[in-house]
Copies of this chain bind each other. A is one copy, B any other.
Amino acid sequence: MSEDLLHVSIAELESLLRRIFEANGVSAKNAAILAANCAACERDGAHSHGIFRMQGYVASLRSGWVDGRAVPEIEAAGSSFLRVDARNGFAQPALAAAMPSLLAAVEATGVAVLAMRGSHHFSALWPDLEPLADRGLVSLTTVAGQACVVPPGGRVPVFGTNPFAFATPVAGSPPLVFDFATSTMSNGDTRIAAREGRKVPHGTGIDRDGHPTSDPNAILDGGALLPFGGHKGLAMTLMVELLAAALTGGSFSSDVDYSTHPGAETPRTGQLLIAIDPTRGATRVYADRARDLIDAVRRSGASRLPADRRYAARARAQAEGIPIARAQFEQLAALAG
């Protein structure tokens, strides 16, 4: 199969993705932001948020469910608190628009909260935080999704896969960024397991009768996923729903309903982001201490740390180009019209 593999430069992939977005009703400004985001996921080997997602982006746009030309509204509700209305657009352009205000608020006060509503987050969270860590900030963010997760003991899905992400600068290294679903598994990975006929670990979810199952089809067909880590994971996913939806004014995961827009795939909810200037701590050498801690974790013999795989994939892609199957690249080119 290797003869069918192309190696595409990051600039070339971004350019193609930008044309796809623009051909499907996205403003030039928003298209550039979304293309860079999606290309970065593909570059870093985060395939479930890379070009695999383009069909979903395009179908959601064509259905009229999401507004590719949305112009976000940003409003200060205090010197450290920004409200952002994504106005039914994707989250990334709204975040980009709010970024100067966010950075100014952190510089002025030491910390800032960004509370976004009316937003479609259809990507990973780590690309939202990595630029903040590059600027020396510690940050965390959460986003609500689409109800497919039940509390332990429950039967009716209440939560999305509700990811939680955190990023920190590390002296002498790229930022350490983690980003995980607070469910046992992402919805996408459950679908991939079902398609490939694989079992999932027992207790990943429940079937339609509420029984724990290892059958991804039973989870998808009237069942549900469970939070990771039992009651601790339930606490985390509940916190995400409170922060990303209740606090921002976004929809709860269980209120998302795009059945009126066939083809749509993106939940319109909310996102919360907190950014902190860690140099305000007593020692003022935060990034050095972060490096010392990471070094200690590696010396302990830890098998791998968050983001290790992404940075390895990124380095390969920067040296050799991003590996993409020719057939998939041709499908992308067709989407660009």
User: What is the interface of chain A, defined by CB distance below 8 A to chain B?
Assistant: 77-81, 83, 85, 108-113, 115, 117, 138, 140, 150-158, 166, 168, 176, 178, 180, 182, 210, 228-235, 238-239, 241-243, 245-249, 252, 254, 274, 276-278, 280-283, 286, 289-290, 292-293, 296-297, 299-306
Contact = CB atoms under 8 A, between A and B. Distances in A.
A112 to B, nearest CB: 7
Contact of A79 (B110, B155, B166, B297): B110
Copies of this chain in the oligomer: 2
A151 B297 CA distance: 7
Contacts of A140: 239
A79 B81 contact: no
Given A302-B153, A306-B235, A293 B241 contact: yes
- Nearest first, the 4 closest Cβ-Cβ pairs linking A and B are A81-B110, A249-B282, A78-B110, A153-B303
Contacts of A83: 280-282
Contact of A293 (B78, B81, B233, B246): B246
A109 B293 contact: no
Nearest to A85: B282
Given A111-B113, A282-B117, A254 B79 contact: no
B239 A166 contact: yes
B81 A254 contact: no
A150 B113 contact: no
Given A156-B299, A180-B232, A246-B286, 19 more contacts: A79-B80, A81-B111, A109-B109, A115-B282, A117-B282, A138-B243, A150-B300, A151-B305, A154-B300, A154-B303, A180-B231, A229-B232, A229-B233, A238-B305, A242-B293, A249-B282, A252-B292, A252-B296, A274-B274
Contacts of A283: 249
B235 A166 contact: yes
22 contacts: A77-B280, A80-B80, A81-B280, A111-B113, A115-B280, A140-B239, A150-B302, A154-B297, A154-B303, A156-B300, A166-B239, A178-B238, A231-B306, A234-B306, A235-B306, A241-B293, A246-B278, A247-B281, A249-B281, A249-B282, A252-B289, A252-B296
